[in-house]
Structure 1
Amino acid sequence: MITMKKVMKSYVIITLGIIVVAIAMHFFLIPNDIAAGGVSGLAMIVNSYFSFLDIGLLMLIMNIILFIIAFILLGSSFGIKTIYASLGMSGAIWALEHIYPMQVPLTKDVLLAAFIGTMLSGLGMGMIFNENASTGGTDIIAKIMNRYIHMDIGKSLLASDFIITIMASYTFGVEKGLYALIVVILNGFIIDYSIEGFNIAMQVFIMSSKYDIIAEYIMNELERGVTLFSGEGGFTNKEMKIIYSVISRKEFIKIRDYIKEVDPKAFISVSNAHEVLGEGFKRIDAE
């Protein structure tokens, strides 16, 4: 059951992602005519021919067409969050255009602008995608591809943005079009890496003679589930209990310090779990 606290947390993260992407667009990508795919890139192309049309307004108009598709194919939760993120993105860019208009780029080094802008944009979009939302436009197409053909979000976005990148080459020149292509490719990898990083948890196996109090600590103090396996020591031939649990990186530090106190001779095996679905983590039906 989704609580109001979780819903609010999700929208706060989406809002932060919107701000990060808007900063990347306004200060780095837009001033250097780097149309890095999506409706933002398409809006930049249209704006180059019709400068009286604000980019933020163009993005808003273009996104409306895809909202119905999002509601039908991806569900109301994704649709509502996407409308919020899309409106927020358009509003944030529109506000930056009027509050801090860019007369000249922060840097005339297009490669540097592309790199910084892409790093920020990929991080922000990763935050938004991770909350089962998108900024609209081709992001919706990417999410549909992710849902139905199980392609990574970043790679799906790369596929859907390729045509817009080709258009950018025609509008802004081959050189900037190639920069845009680099941005699209790098952006896809950064988004996938960001999403993976947000969802990484630690799966731990703990072998200790004091397994009972360690398991109790995990369940009561960390409020995480544990599974007990029966094992036998290959050298000692003694039966033992093995604790298995999936916890966050922050919680692992706590359990590690606790085990140091109660049983310094314990054996702990730790590995990354790149995606965890279920109780206490991401909902299974969130995708």
Structure 2
Amino acid sequence: MKEKIVKKIEIKQSETIKGKKLKKNAFQERLAKEELAAYKANRIAATDPEYKGKTKLQVKMSGVLLALLGAIMGAYATVSIMIPSGLTYGGITGLARMVQNYTGWNYSLTYYAFTFVITILVWIMLGLKEVKKILLLSVAYPGFMLLFELLDTKLLESNDTFLAAVFCGVAFGVSNGLTFKAGFSSGGTDSLAKIIKFKRLPHIGINDITFVINTAIVVVSAVVFGINVMLYTIITMYISMKVGEMVMFGLTDKLIELNIITEIPDDLKDYIINEIGRGLTSSRITGEYTGEMKKQLKVICSPREGFLIKRFLAERDPQSFVSVFRVNSVWGVGRGFSDIREIDN
């Protein structure tokens, strides 16, 4: 009798253990299926031709329209505010103004000539891929200026130079912010800076080269138009920079920290160091969910530079994981950083 009871207990325990194992296996199978489904969903999300309910064509067209809107605003500010007020600006705009001042040539056609030359240089030096980024605005921007010249538009009734400088700065800022946000370039001094960097000064960042070119144009404008106009130009460019950042990133801090996990850490590292001109650090991390080890990159940069990094990753590795933190202040040596010996305001 005892043996029968023991046997029954053993059978019951065995069935219980088997049941638990079956449940465990079923749970593991379900978990594995869920993980596979999530993986497939992530892959589809990364490569899907639709983005937030829009096809690639729709996304591209919305970017083109945004860039054209920016071009219209910039062209209107140039023809209707800047030129009638006797002001100037940096970049190709400033070069065209100086040529116009000495020759009397039509401003828009002069601008067209400069953009045409730059487009040809970019094609020869950097290839067709870079030309595609600047072609739209190289054609549209001066085209809109010609249109506003024919319409003979003028915004300000009085000759208030300071007001004109402020409004120019706001309009140029919105224009630059919209075109940059749309992923296009006007083909100005930033394209020249790229050529100089990749052909002559690979160790210097594009932003630094662009700054030097624009500074040189502004300084020369003091000789051509006078010191007062140069000072007004500095005001316009400063307002333009700040408004452009607001359009692209909202009312955010001047520095952000990016923590990046990507499948292309080496490519991203080269891009950040060589093209953006920022330093960065890396560390080995382990994903506890997958148990996989990866390299994490950390960089502190401006919001504009963060936007460039985001665009780079969106094109090369859309499955990247990036966390963004606002940075109040950084003490150290670097662009936008505070000297550690100084007192923060």
Q: Normalization by structure 2: what TM-score? A: 0.52
Task: Please tell me whether Structure 1 or Structure 2 has the larger radius of gyration of its CA atoms.
Answer: 2
Q: Is the 8 A contact 2:80 2:153 kept in 1?
A: no
> Could you tell me which of 122, 127, 140 is aligned with 1:70?
122
> Could you tell me which of 315, 323, 328 is aligned with 1:283?
315
Inter-partner Cα distance in structure 2 for 1:20 and 1:182 = 19
1:6 aligns with 2:59: yes
SS of equivalent to 1:33: coil
Summarize the Cα distance change of 1:285–1:69 in structure 2 as closer, same or farther, 3 Å threshold. Answer: farther
1:45 aligns with 2:77: no
Inter-partner Cα distance in structure 1 for 2:245 and 2:193 = 12
Q: Could you say which residue in structure 1 is the equivalent of 2:221?
A: 168
Amino acid at match of 2:83: I
1:108 aligns with 2:159: yes
1:127 aligns with 2:159: no
Inter-partner Cα distance in structure 2 for 1:187 and 1:75 = 30
RMSD across aligned positions (CA): 3.6
Q: CA deviation at 1:144?
A: 6.4
Q: CA deviation at 1:132?
A: 2.8
Q: CA deviation at 1:14?
A: 0.9
Q: Could you say which residue in structure 1 is the equivalent of 2:131?
A: 79
Q: Is the 8 A contact 2:166 2:235 kept in 1?
A: no
Q: Could you say which residue in structure 1 is the equivalent of 2:297?
A: none
Q: CA deviation at 1:145?
A: 8.4
SS of equivalent to 1:283: helix
Q: Could you say which residue in structure 1 is the equivalent of 2:17?
A: none
SS of equivalent to 2:132: helix
Q: Could you say which residue in structure 2 is the equivalent of 1:24?
A: 77
Inter-partner Cα distance in structure 1 for 2:170 and 2:150 = 24
Summarize the Cα distance change of 1:120–1:142 in structure 2 as closer, same or farther, 3 Å threshold. Answer: farther
1:97 aligns with 2:126: no
Inter-partner Cα distance in structure 2 for 1:106 and 1:158 = 33
Q: Normalization by structure 1: what TM-score? A: 0.61
Inter-partner Cα distance in structure 1 for 2:251 and 2:140 = 22
Q: CA deviation at 1:152?
A: 8.2
Q: Is the 8 A contact 1:78 1:132 kept in 2?
A: no
Q: CA deviation at 1:130?
A: 2.5
Q: Is the 8 A contact 1:130 1:198 kept in 2?
A: no
Summarize the Cα distance change of 1:129–1:141 in structure 2 as closer, same or farther, 3 Å threshold. Answer: farther
> How many residues get paired?
213
Deviates more, 1:38-47 or 1:89-98: 38-47
Q: CA deviation at 1:28?
A: 1.6
Summarize the Cα distance change of 1:106–1:5 in structure 2 as closer, same or farther, 3 Å threshold. Answer: same
> Could you tell me which of 233, 252, 258 is aligned with 1:180?
233
Inter-partner Cα distance in structure 2 for 1:119 and 1:151 = 27
Q: Structure 2: 5+ residue runs without aligned partners?
A: 1-46, 50-55, 254-286, 290-305, 319-345
Q: Is the 8 A contact 2:119 2:135 kept in 1?
A: yes
Query: What is the correspondence of 1:142-161 to structure 2 with a 5 Å cutoff?
Result: 157-161=210-214
Q: Is the 8 A contact 2:177 2:248 kept in 1?
A: yes
Q: Could you say which residue in structure 2 is the equivalent of 1:206?
A: none
